[in-house]
Structure 1
Amino acid sequence: MSSYALGLDYGSDSVRALLVNTATGEEVATSVINYPRWAKGLYCEPAADQFRQHPLDYLESLEQVLAGLWQRAPKGAAQAVVGVSFDTTGSTPIAVDTEGTALALKPAFADNPNAMFVLWKDHTAVREAAEITAAAEQAPENYLKYEGGIYSSEWYWSKALHVMRADKAVAAAAYMWVEHCDWMSAILTGTTHPDVFRMGRCAAGHKVMWHESWGGYPPNDFFTGIDPLLDGLCERLPSETFCADERVGGLTAEWAERLGLPEGIAVGFSAFDCHMGAVAANVQPGVLTKIMGTSTCDITIASQAAIGDNCVRGICGQVDGSVIPGMVGLEAGQSAFGDLYAWFKRLVNGPAIQVIKQSEHLDAATRERLLAELEDKSLIAMSAAAAKLAPGTSGVTALDWVNGRRTPDADQTVSGAITGLKMGSTSAEVFRALVEATAFGARAIIERFRAEGVAVDSVVAIGGISKKSDFVMQTCADVWNCPIDVLESEQSCALGAAIFAATVGGAHPDVASAQQAMGSSVSQTYQPNEQAAAIFDELYKQYQALGQYVEAAKS
């Protein structure tokens, strides 16, 4: 009888469930549910860089996505599931009380954005991130040396501190802060109480400043030196962390009934989406796995012998076992990739959308149809027109920092820019410059890895953009001047979670065996064009010059 593994991928907008045959790797069924409150824009203030998600969005969507999955899966498949694992965005923390209850699940905080999950893209904590970086630089031990040397406003401690400074009620009720990925595993295993709560290696090492060389987290006086509000928080966190091939516990009876799964099946330690996606892509040294979506996350691995004592500057961290047990996982990424394209689409379509919405001559059905067509077709049309332009012919240069810069050298205070505009500049020319900017931003990451002694010989791409746009992918291959393999799987992050679920469920003895049986194949390879690559070498210098100008103007 076949056995199955269940991977659950919590993205920015939706949760995806993927059921995979543990022996053959066949992706048997999938289901996707959008978060209802998030879809309405609740609890967010984009102009203030505030992005919050309600925990009920995660819990309600979990039940709905599995109800949909069982409608698509073979009869009886649910009872043959051996393990469940999660991946989520991150850093996405939330405050919990002394009982381990997320504050937003309590009536007093039910509609308080500060009591909700602080999504990865929330940049309200820029000041706090700078304070943490300054404190680490002045400390006898630099507790950021394994996190690129710069703490980010996208990460755990800066977000926790910002929220507690902004909201006295939340600060008073917050006993501990937990990451979304760890919370999901704890919910399903009944281990949310601080006395039994445990954490995965991935989130702890990359965002929470955990490292085994200092016995867990920086000492309490490091944090109280930044702000007394942080007093005791690090001491409440478990000092031991676990790789994703290990079992948190068994699925509780309550959640087994709610999800239609067998009670007691294995639930694995969770990790961030990009790290799980890299596992599905059979990540290995010298290969950079790039998850291309609203933002990007870049993952590679190295042996402990190869990395040695080298602390790679300006990335998001290097953590033993955060991707593959026994290997050092290295993470970088861009704060905006697809988000930059979406911003330009909104900018260009804005007037047309208002005209359609306000037209008195259109019935509701026609209005909705026209809006849907504009949404679906405008970016496709601009992309097609941009693809016909030769690189370097428009004179337009763009900078991709519209949502700040994640790496290299995190700085969420910088902004995007466009230069070289003329009266004759077209939307296609500007869009091409934006695509080139995202490719240049990725090149800066690749060059930083190489400069720090980390090999990048080729790239494996996963995520929606890698499957949807030949133009974007070919531009990237030319700018990076290296081949790019695109995975066959449409749900690579969920597939990575399923690989770990199969391991913790006993279907495979280790991650390597599970990868061999279940990892995704390559659907397409993009090869760089030598002539275009030479042109982009010169255009990249213009991109770098624009970045230097923006940074100088900021100060």
Structure 2
Amino acid sequence: MLVSEDQYVIGVDYGTDSVRSVLVNARNGEEVAASVYYYPRWQQGLYCNPAQNQFRQHPLDYVEGLEYTLKECLQKAGSTIAAVVKGISIDTTGSTPIAVNRAGTPLALLPAFSENPNAMFVLWKDHTAVTEAAEINAHATRFDTNYLQYVGGIYSSEWFWAKLLHVLRADEQVRNACYSWVEHCDWIPFLLTGGTDVAQMKRSVCAAGHKALWAAAYGGLPPDQFFSSLDPLLQGYTQRLFKDTYTSDQAAGTLSPEWAERLGLSTEVVIGVGAFDAHMGAVGGQIEPYHLSKVMGTSTCDMLVAPVAEVEDKLVRGICGQVPGSVIPGMMGLEAGQSAFGDTYAWFRKLLLWPLQNLLSQSEVLSGDTAAALFNELSDNIIPALSNQAEQIPLSENDPFAIDWFNGRRTPDANQLLKGAILGLSLGSDAPRVFKALVEATCFGAKKIVDRFNEQGVPVKGLIGMGGVARKSPFIMQMMADVMDMPIRIHRSEQTCAIGAAMFAATAAGIYPKVDEAMAAMGQGFDAEYKPDPARTGIYASRYLKYKAHGEVIEALSSTPQVQVTDIQEKVVR
């Protein structure tokens, strides 16, 4: 379908560190204006405790960022364009839920809970609910119906119910005030449409199906008895949550008078049903059937779509779920990913920068301003410099190894108790060599995901790379192609998630009848492709076998402290 006149929509992308809004011409996908807002409370490290895997975000960071970026986009675009904005859609990280009252107001926005981390959004990477996830997994085996079958058979501590149960157990005040539990991607549209009753909130099939155990086969969520028999604290929550879900091509409502006045927009602006960032990012990156779309940032989210009729009887074990309509309405959406990708490189950078961060300020040679400028310069340049040096190192069977579970393992087979490892070090193992091992490990982790899809009968026929790492690091992307022994195309847009949200906004607003048509008209195409180097793929294939063997050892040690040395030796030999 061709749209002959200019019509404008806004995509809002909530990431881990910031929110970005992009104002787009729906006729051709042209980015007219963009704005970014970094969460100030998050930047200060408030409400987080990394040592306990606690990562919380204050809803005010989200609200302030929403208003700031939308206003700046509209200001940059000018009043003429602002007057004809037709729709706004939102994507967020997930599972990132929060406790709300009956009105749907997050408890952290109430004075009594304004500084309480348990009343805030529990970020996707928060793993404080490991115990609760393990209990859910054990509990599910007691039922004739397998309520975990559509989420890969393993429930994760990153997800909806585990986090709810943990918060209810951990905080009596929050437990008493909590009426319902909502995802970030569902709350922002509710906020913009002026919702005042959580029962009227339109919940996305994306979040509900992949993280909250919702399935059409169950007629909604699992029954109350499934949850109340796990812990009486969960009794009644299914009735206070939702039964129906919605795809993101549908409207959640229209802009409320309050937000219309704040933003200078019409109350006729359509607000679309929300979804997770990787799902909308896959659409912004022009996903194709059986092509794995990899959104590569702090973590990876890997999306695959296929015709429902071709895969509905195939349940891929150990992934983050398969849900009809969660990516593209009418298609089966399958999700996998890695808990740490860019975060692994950021950890290594932070490790190397420790002396500068802690000793430069004490220098008697440099002024404070010079020391700060030097630190910032080195911080910006260290990963590119390591990449350049690592690229020059000849590939060898005997290079150091790493295991990429620095934030646990998301897929295949979620296990947030696992830890990363670096193996095979010697006195010659300098920083570029260790960095190279870490990059290789993240690529090997990505290959295990592809292998799982292929093994379970859902073939991966191609790779699409998106996100900051994909666009900024040729070294990492070339290694990805070599390890996968498969080409990887890099999408042109730097804002695939926000552009995907804009595509859904154009569909929800009625500019396009289907998101497929919005994707075709507004997509920006690809500007790079990395092809596997035959001289390297064989060596990586051999090292990949060792990576899997070492991973088995690390996993055995993590789960069974008294494992016998002979058992470990046998695994390494295999």
Would you call these one fold, judging by a TM-score over 0.5?
Answer: yes
Aligned to 1:543: 547
Aligned to 2:9: 5
Q: Is the 8 A contact 1:392 1:539 kept in 2?
A: no
* Structure 1 residue 390, shift from structure 2 partner: 2.1
Amino acid at match of 2:194: G
* Structure 1 residue 79, shift from structure 2 partner: 1.4
Q: Pick from 217, 226, 231: which aligns with 2:235?
A: 231
Aligned to 1:472: 476
Query: Residues 172-203 of structure 1: CA distance to partner in whole angstroms, max 9, x if unpaired?
Result: 11110000000001001122512312201100
Q: Secondary structure at the match of 2:166?
A: helix
Summarize the alignment of residues 234-383 of structure 1 with structure 2, pairs less than 5 Å apart: 234-383=238-387
Q: Secondary structure at the match of 1:138?
A: coil
Amino acid at match of 2:555: E
Query: Residues 32-58 of structure 1: CA distance to partner in whole angstroms, max 9, x if unpaired?
Result: 110010011000000100000000000
Query: Residues 260-280 of structure 1: CA distance to partner in whole angstroms, max 9, x if unpaired?
Result: 322221100000000001111
Aligned to 2:442: 438
Q: Pick from 177, 181, 203: which aligns with 1:177?
A: 181
Q: Structure 1 CA distance, aligned partners of 2:106 and 2:422?
A: 42
Amino acid at match of 1:543: Y
Q: Is the 8 A contact 1:148 1:317 kept in 2?
A: yes
* Structure 1 residue 92, shift from structure 2 partner: 0.1
Q: Structure 1 CA distance, aligned partners of 2:264 and 2:440?
A: 46
Summarize the alignment of residues 121-160 of structure 1 with structure 2, pairs less than 5 Å apart: 121-160=125-164
* Structure 1 residue 539, shift from structure 2 partner: 0.6
Summarize the alignment of residues 63-212 of structure 1 with structure 2, pairs less than 5 Å apart: 63-212=67-216
Aligned to 1:420: 424
Aligned to 1:455: 459
Percent identity of equivalent pairs = 53
| Most deviating of 504-513 and 105-114 | 504-513
Q: Structure 1 CA distance, aligned partners of 2:497 and 2:477?
A: 19
Amino acid at match of 1:49: N
**CA 1:455–1:393: 2 relative to 1, 3 Å:** closer
Query: Residues 226-263 of structure 1: CA distance to partner in whole angstroms, max 9, x if unpaired?
Result: 11111111111220100000001010010112223222
Q: Structure 2 CA distance, aligned partners of 1:395 and 1:531?
A: 16
Q: Pick from 386, 392, 399: which aligns with 2:390?
A: 386
Q: Pick from 494, 519, 522: which aligns with 2:498?
A: 494
Q: Structure 1 CA distance, aligned partners of 2:264 and 2:384?
A: 40
Amino acid at match of 2:105: T
Aligned to 2:414: 410
Q: Is the 8 A contact 1:9 1:87 kept in 2?
A: yes
Amino acid at match of 1:449: F
Q: Structure 2 CA distance, aligned partners of 1:89 and 1:162?
A: 19
Q: Structure 1 CA distance, aligned partners of 2:226 and 2:542?
A: 45
Q: Structure 1 CA distance, aligned partners of 2:264 and 2:345?
A: 39
Q: Is the 8 A contact 1:394 1:425 kept in 2?
A: no
* Structure 1 residue 457, shift from structure 2 partner: 1.3
Q: Structure 2 CA distance, aligned partners of 1:465 and 1:99?
A: 40
Is structure 2 residue 219 aligned with structure 1 residue 215? yes
Q: Is the 8 A contact 2:20 2:37 kept in 1?
A: yes
Q: Pick from 25, 36, 39: which aligns with 1:35?
A: 39
| TM-score (norm. length: structure 2) | 0.95
* Structure 1 residue 395, shift from structure 2 partner: 2.2
Is structure 2 residue 35 aligned with structure 1 residue 45? no
Is structure 2 residue 60 aligned with structure 1 residue 56? yes
Q: Structure 2 CA distance, aligned partners of 1:520 and 1:528?
A: 24
Aligned to 1:24: 28
* Structure 1 residue 30, shift from structure 2 partner: 0.9
Q: Structure 1 CA distance, aligned partners of 2:110 and 2:79?
A: 38
* Structure 1 residue 75, shift from structure 2 partner: 4.2
Q: Pick from 530, 548, 551: which aligns with 1:526?
A: 530
Aligned to 1:396: 400
Q: Is the 8 A contact 2:312 2:332 kept in 1?
A: no
Amino acid at match of 1:511: V
Q: Is the 8 A contact 1:285 1:455 kept in 2?
A: no
Amino acid at match of 1:149: G
Q: Structure 1 CA distance, aligned partners of 2:106 and 2:9?
A: 28
- Unpaired segments ≥5 residues, structure 2: 561-574
Amino acid at match of 1:357: S
Q: Structure 1 CA distance, aligned partners of 2:395 and 2:178?
A: 53
Q: Is the 8 A contact 1:183 1:192 kept in 2?
A: no
Amino acid at match of 1:400: D
Q: Is the 8 A contact 1:488 1:520 kept in 2?
A: yes
Query: Residues 142-168 of structure 1: CA distance to partner in whole angstroms, max 9, x if unpaired?
Result: 101000000000000000101111101
Q: Structure 2 CA distance, aligned partners of 1:354 and 1:54?
A: 28
Q: Structure 2 CA distance, aligned partners of 1:21 and 1:318?
A: 32
Q: Structure 1 CA distance, aligned partners of 2:228 and 2:243?
A: 18
Amino acid at match of 2:285: A
* Structure 1 residue 363, shift from structure 2 partner: 2.4
Q: Structure 1 CA distance, aligned partners of 2:387 and 2:308?
A: 42
* Structure 1 residue 70, shift from structure 2 partner: 2.5
* Structure 1 residue 80, shift from structure 2 partner: 1.4
- Unpaired segments ≥5 residues, structure 1: none
Amino acid at match of 2:40: P
Q: Is the 8 A contact 1:253 1:264 kept in 2?
A: no
Q: Is the 8 A contact 1:492 1:520 kept in 2?
A: no
Q: Is the 8 A contact 2:406 2:420 kept in 1?
A: yes
| Most deviating of 303-312 and 405-414 | 303-312
Q: Is the 8 A contact 2:199 2:241 kept in 1?
A: no
| Most deviating of 275-284 and 469-478 | 275-284
Query: Residues 50-82 of structure 1: CA distance to partner in whole angstroms, max 9, x if unpaired?
Result: 000000000011111122222322442221110
* Structure 1 residue 510, shift from structure 2 partner: 1.4
Q: Is the 8 A contact 1:114 1:170 kept in 2?
A: yes
Q: Structure 2 CA distance, aligned partners of 1:260 and 1:157?
A: 38
* Structure 1 residue 324, shift from structure 2 partner: 0.5
Aligned to 2:566: none
Q: Secondary structure at the match of 2:149?
A: coil
